[in-house]
Amino acid sequence: MPKHFKIISEKTNRQVMRSGRGIDQLKELKAQYGGKNWRKCKGEADIELSSGKIRRAELHWYEAHGVGERRLKFKKYLD
């Protein structure tokens, strides 16, 4: 889990960006975690930065059946 920021709210506006073979890292994700039906997703959440500041952010991650969410990353600020 990234230590750069902490998610302090529920993720909202969850969307699937790409799925299955549309994901460049599919082979690597399957090799690392197993799982089926991988999807690259995005959503919004409030995050607390290492400075203590709280901002609204767009986050990206991968998820699959039997694995859950992996490789959470910080795309951009929304506020």
Residues forming contacts to other proteins in the complex (CB under 8 A) are: 1-4, 24-25, 28, 32, 49-51, 53, 55, 60, 71, 73-77
Minimum Å distance from CB 36 to other proteins?
19
Comparing CB distances to other proteins, the nearer of 14 and 33 is 33
CB of 78 to other proteins, least distance (A): 10
- 40 exposed, middle or buried (CB, 10 Å; 0-12, 13-18, 19+)? buried
User: d(Cα 67, Cα 61) in Å, to the nearest integer?
Assistant: 12
56 token code pair: 């609204």
